[in-house]
Structures are given as C-alpha cells and as structure tokens.
Structure 1
Amino acid sequence: MPFDIAQVRSEFPALAEGVAHFDGPGGSQVPRAVGQAVAETLCSGIANRGAVTAAERRAEAVVTGARAAVADLLGCRPAGVVFARSMTQATYDMARALAKGWSGGDEVVVTRLDHDANIRPWVAAAEAAGATVRWADFDPGTGRLTVDDVAAVLSPRTRLVAVTAASNLLGTRPDIPAVAAAAHAVGALVYVDGVHLTPHAPVSMADLGADFYACSPYKFFGPHHGVLAAAPELLETVHPDKLQPSTDAVPERFELGTLPYELLAGTTAAVDFAAALGGSRDGSRRTRLLDSMRQVETYEAELFARLLDGLAAIGAVTLHGSPGDRTPTALFSVAGRSPQEVYEHLAALGVNAPAGSFYAIEPARRIGLGAAGAVRAGISPYNTTDDVDRLLAGVASAAR
C-alpha cells in the first residue's frame, strides 16, 4: 500500500498555516487525535490512580494504556516503561541511581557524537562517584562513530556505555548492536539515546542490544515528556531516591510524583497514529507499527535524497557529515551567511529550518562549528516534495 501523504497531512491542523516544517528534529507537529486525547483527559473526571471511583480507574487505565503503547513502539515490556518530565530528566535520574554502585576505578564511556543529555548526566554522576569518564571519538569528516571507536575506550572496569542511536545534529547512526555487543563483552550496561531515531525507523530494544532506551514522545507526534525503557528485572536492581510512602514497585519507583495523565493519553494517541501511517488495520499494534515505520523510512529517504541533491547543487552550501546510514537530517552552512541569518531568511519565506548546535555541543565542536552550529533541516512524514523545493529555493536565494 503506497504511503498516503495527502491523508497524513490532513491529520495535522498546524499544516493549514502553510509553513513548510523542517524543524521536526526539535519537535514534530501534532496530529488532531493527539490534541483531542489530551483535551478529553484534562476535561474528564480524573483523580489519583486507584480502583474505587470511576475517576481513579480512568487514571489507572490511562497509565497502563500508555505503558502498553510505548512497549509496542519500542519492542519492550510495559512493566519496564518509565515516564518522566523529559528524556534529560530521566537520564539524570537514572545516572544518579546507577552511580550509587560505582566507585573509584570504575569507568563510564560517553561519545563525542551525542546530544548533551546523554553526556552531562553521566559525567556528573561519574564525578560524584569518583569514577573515570572515557570519551569515544568519531570521524569529524564523515560524522561516523564506529564500534572500533567505542571498543578503543572499553575496559574490564567499564560500567556503562552511553551512546546515541542517531545523532540529532548530523543524523548519522552508529551500529548500536555492535557497540552493545562490545560493551556487554566487558560487562557494561548500554544506555541508548533513541530520541532522534524513534521518529524515523522501526525500533526493537532487543535487536539493538540496549539495556536502557530513552526517547521523547514530542519527537514522534506526541506531547512534551520523556520515556525510559528497560527490562523490569534490570530496573528491580536500581534504587533511586524517592519519597518514603511512595511505592517501591517497578516501574513506579522511578516516577516521582503524580504522572501527567493528559500527556500519557496523548502519547498513546501518538503511538496509535504512528501505527496507522501505513494504512493497515490488520495485526497487532506492534505489527502495524513496524510496517508503518518501514514505510516512513522509505518515504522519508526519497525526500531526503531530493534534499541532499538539491543542496549539493548550490555552490555556496557546505553539507556536514556524509551520506550513508543516517536519519533524514541535513546539517549545512551557507558561505557568507551566518546560520542565524539563513534561519531567519527561510522563516520569512514560510520555511522553518532552525540553526544552532541543538544541545549537541560536543559534535558541533568536533566538526569545527562551535556553539553557533549550522542550519538543520529534518524530514518528517508530513513533508512533501513541494516543501523540499521551497526549502531549496530559499537556500539558493540566501546564497546569492
């Protein structure tokens, strides 16, 4: 069944404004069904979770429904899905909890390719525990991080490897299964930042070899909060700081305070929307998600090829990173124009492609861009060839 882009776009009220959105890597636009789920939950009778009143039961159903939806999306078990205010908060909380078991001589590996949310929490936790931080570097010319780059800094004292599944700056995708195998061979845990991968590809935690997988629903059509997934048995071994009367059950022991029920309802709606992108109504939600995300990959790859070819044809444009296994994310500079100037020029034309380092400060520095970064254009499932051509025309006019 062909990817029905007209039907997809009809589900996004924001697209009626006429803007071509290439800012999906910072947060996607939201389909109508997600907004409705959030509003309906906020406006319904709801209370703290329980089994006595209808309001309590409604809250319980929202939470269990959201855990099941995320489990289908990531290929994990609902009992291992933790909700947090953001991916950054979830990672800081888990880093502090895991660091309770670290001591002097232990080592933690982070990479120069990662968003700072998968670097600084581990650096801070290691420093507090007296552990050593070891850095895996990547090739600044290609933007590629290889398993050899990571293996070079592993040792029998490595306790955890934090690595991105896809760079939010360059789009490049490390071979996570190979990295995970190398880390597991020395007895280390693997914490995968899946924020930038999840909107663009089918995800299976088991296939990736991830012990922990963190992502953000607002990058895949949902509300603003964070998700952390792991095997329930692994979560049982981790003991975060928590309030004395709060439950010690997994996964609730990691969720501090009352959950935002309306956001969880919106997340379930976002996952259901993603499962319907492929047009199939047959099979389990997990089966439909895998089919939909494969179609999304194919559709986005076609648009991305058009975008890359068009940018390469503009003489003043420098593309950062190399083609290959990457998400549909282009990072580019225009000679004689600052990234901010290009961003503002495009915005005036109704094309949203922001500029900066996008909190991926380490890779931005490594490829010589610094904090100013460059212009980033990310393809989303609601983009069209017309959107791409508008962006290319805007960049060409900025380059004159």
Structure 2
Amino acid sequence: MPFDIARTRASYPALTEGFVHFDGAGGTQTAAPVIDAVTDAMRTAIGNRSAAFTPGRRSLELVSAARSAVADLLGAEPDGVVLGPSATALTYTLARTLGATWRPGDEVVVSRLDHDANVRPWVQAAEAAGAVVRWAEVDPATGELPAGQYADLVGERTRLVAVTAGSNAIGTVPDVAAIAMTAHAAGALVCVDGVHSVPHGPTDLAALGADVLVTSAYKWSGPHLAAMVADPAVWDRLRPEKLLPSSDAVPDRFEYGTPSFPLLAGVAAAVDHLAGLDPEATGGRRERLRAGLTASQAYEESLLERLLTGLAALPAVTVLGSPARRCPTVSFRIEGRSPQHTQQALGAAGFCLSAGDYYAYEYFQSLGLRERGGAVRASIYHYNTVDEVDRLLTELDRLTDGGRTMAG
C-alpha cells in the first residue's frame, strides 16, 4: 500500500506550526508517542535503580526497555547496547578505551567522508598512543568512498577502521560490508557511524559487518540520547576508565553517571513509533521495524528523486556529489550567494535547512569549500511531502531569478 503520509504527519505535533523541515539530518521533530512517554515517566514516581522498591524497579525497567528497543532497531542484543548522551560522547569513550591498548606503530583508518565525531576521537586517540592515522579519500566528483582503496590502507598493524554508513553531508552510502571484510581479514575492529543512515532504512549490525555501531535517537523521532551497540563479547574485552563503585558489568561499565530515565522511556517509544510506520505490518517488533522502515525508505527516495530532478533544472544551483547510493540528503550551493545567505533567505520563507559544513569537516576541507561557507543541506525525512519539495524548488527558482542569480 502507498505510504500514508497524512497519518505519519499527524504523529508530529510540531508540524502544526507550519515550518517546512528539511533539517532532519541535524535532528528530527519528536513524535507524539515519544512526548507522551517522556511526560508520563516524569509524572510517575521514579527512584534510582534498585530492586528493593517500586520506583527503583521502574528505573530498571526503563533501562531494560530502551536496550531491548534499540537492539530490535539495529539487529543487536540488548546486553550489547550502551546508552549515553550523544554519539560524540560515546565515541570518545570508546576511542579512549581502545586507544589505551594501542602502541606506537599501530594504525587506524578514518575517512574524509565522515562526520567529525567518527574522525577526531580516533585521530586524537592515535596521536596519544603514537599510532599512525591513514585516510580513506572521497572521489571529489561523485562523492563516493571507494571500498577498493581499503586494501592498500589496511594492514597487519591496523587496529581499527572507522567509517560512516551514510554521509550526513551528501548522503553517500558506502559499501560498509566490503570495507568491513577487508578490515576483519587483517584482524581490525570496525566502528560504523550509523547516525545518518539508521533513520532512513532497516539496519542490521551483522549485515553491515560492524563490530560497533553508533546511532542517535533524536535523528529518528526520539529524544536527545544515543546508543552504541556491539556483540556483548566485544564489550567484555574492553576496560574503560570508570568510578570504582560503579558497575563493572557489561554494558553498564561504559555508561557514566545516572541516566535520564524519562528520556529512556522516549527512546523505547520512538522505536515503537518506527515499528508502526506500516500499519499493516505483522510479527514481532523487529519484523515490523523492517517493514515500516522499508516503506518509509521507498517514500523518502521518491521525494529525493523529485528534489534532485528539480535542482538539476536550476542552472545556478550546483549539487555536491552524485553517489550511486545515497540517503535522502543533498548539499548544494547557489552561484553568487553564500550558503549562509541562502539559508537565511530560505529561513525567512519558512524553510528549515542547515548551512556550513555540518561537522563533515574533512569532506568540505578536501573540496576547498570550508573557507567559502560550505553548502546548504536539504535532508528529507518521512514526514516531508511532495508539496514541500515543490515549494522548496519554487523558492530556489525565485532566489535564482529563474536561472539568473539574484544579487545577495
């Protein structure tokens, strides 16, 4: 059946304000069931985790429910789900932990396509250990991250390969499974940034070949929390720095301090919301998630095709990259206008888009665009509509005066 966009949009109270949100890559609007779950949890007596009294048991249940929900979303085990405040914070925790085991001459491989949260923690940990950093390069014309180059980058001293499953800048979807196969053949761990990919289709930890995968709930309709998942056996081998009295169990020993229990209620509710995107889906939550995210992915891809076709018809607009597979995310520049000026003009017309480098530091640096303001990013999510895409194209046509760039 066709994707029910009216039903989907009705789940997002913020959309009633009338803004056009093409800023999902920076954070989606929150689904109503998530808001309700967080509110309900905050109205209920909750204590710190304890099996001795009811409010304490509620906290234990909220943590357990969040782990199970994320595990279903990513094809992981609940005991392998580490929860934390952000993808950046969790990656730094892992980088410090792994970096403590590296020795001078060891190697790590990072890419110029990634968000800096999957670059800088590894570069800094390598520098602290005296390890060597190797760089996977992006094809500047297509925006592809060729998997073949990893055969020359990965060797017997490689300890870790970090790569994105979806570029937050131009949407490129690299062949992570092929990259992981090369890394594993050399005995290296693979850390995959799934922050931008997870919201836009089904995710399977094993199929990706990821040893560790990171995701952020606020990129898929949830609250500002993140998760880092792996096989529990991976966590069992690692000893992060922690407070002496805190739990030494897996995955608890990677989580610092008392979590926000109400926000964890929101994480579970967000996963349930995604599992309901296809109202006719049956089976367990994992099966319903696959069905719902497959349906939303097809819908988003139809909007992306419409957007790309429309942008190609505007002579003054240059789209960055042309990858064969991409998340529904496009970066572009208008001739004669800075990205920031374009963003402001679109913002005045009610459109929410990002401008700059969006923390894709190395990508924009490699193109020589950081000092020129980066680009403007339009990121599609499953609550966007055909009409919104057409309105954006109409406004861009107006800004470029039908192909002749207006002064700005």
| Bin for the TM-score computed over the shorter chain | over 0.9
Assess if the C-alpha contact under 8 Å between 2:281 and 2:291 holds in 1: no
* Residue 40 (structure 1) shift: 1.2
Kept in 2: contact 1:86–1:224 (CA 8 A): yes
Instruction: Please tell me whether residue 315 in structure 1 is matched to residue 309 in structure 2.
Output: no
Q: Distance in 2 between matches of 1:279 and 1:382?
A: 16
Counterpart amino acid of residue 105 in structure 1: G
How far apart, CA to CA, are the structure 2 residues paired with 1:221 and 1:78?
21
In the aligned structure 1, how far is the partner of 2:279 from the partner of 2:161? 38
Do the aligned residues in 1 keep the contact of 2:112 with 2:137 (CA within 8 Å)?
yes
1:394 aligns with 2:395: yes
RMSD: 0.9
* CA deviations over 1:183-213 (Å, ceiling 9, x no partner): 0001100000000000001000000000000
Residues 342-370 of structure 1, C-alpha deviations (whole Å, 9 max, x = no match): 11111111111221100001001122311
Match of 1:198 in 2: 198
Structure 2: 5+ residue stretches without partners:
402-408
- Return the alpha-carbon distance in structure 2 between the equivalents of residues 264 and 366 of structure 1: 38
Check whether the contact 1:107–1:131 (CA below 8 A) recurs between aligned residues: yes
2:34 corresponds to: 34
Alpha-carbon separation, structure 1, partners of 2:264 and 2:329: 28
Shift of 1:100: 1.5
Residues 2-81 of structure 1: pairs in structure 2 closer than 5 A: 2-81=2-81
Distance 2:228 2:392 in 1: 34
1:39 Cα deviation from its structure 2 partner: 1.2
Who is 1:93 aligned against? 93
Q: C-alpha distance in 1, partners of 2:115/2:138?
A: 14
How far apart in 2 are the matches of 1:271 and 1:247?
27
Alignment of 1:1-400 (within 5 A): 1-280=1-280, 282-371=282-371, 372-400=373-401
Deviation of residue 282 (structure 1)?
1.8
TM-superposed deviation, 1:151: 2.2
Counterpart code for 1:142: T
| Structure 2 SS opposite 1:395 | helix
Distance, in Å, in 2 between the alignment partners of 1:145 and 1:367 is 14
Counterparts of 1:208 and 1:281, CA distance in 2 = 24
Mean Cα deviation higher: 233-242 or 279-288 = 279-288
Deviation at 1:226, TM superposition (A): 1.4
Any idea what SS the aligned residue of 1:168 has? coil
1:138–1:149 Cα contact (<8 Å) kept: no
Partner of 1:8: helix, strand, or coil? helix
Q: Is the 8 A contact 2:144 2:323 kept in 1?
A: no
| C-alpha contact (below 8 Å) 2:143/2:323 kept by paired residues | no
SS at structure 1 position matched to 2:199: coil
**Kept in 2: contact 1:110–1:119 (CA 8 A):** yes
Q: CA deviation at 1:149?
A: 2.2
- Structure 1: runs of 5+ lacking an equivalent: none
In the TM superposition, residue 22 of structure 1 has moved relative to its aligned partner by: 0.2
The Cα of 1:395 is off from its aligned counterpart by: 1.1
Residues 275-325 of structure 1, C-alpha deviation per residue, up to 9 Å, x if partnerless?
A: 000113520000000011111110001011110011111110001010420
Q: In the aligned structure 2, how far is the partner of 1:79 from the partner of 1:354?
A: 36
**Would you identify which runs of 4 or more consecutive aligned residues in structure 1 move more than 3 Å?**
none
**With structure 1 as the length reference, what TM-score do the two structures score?**
0.99
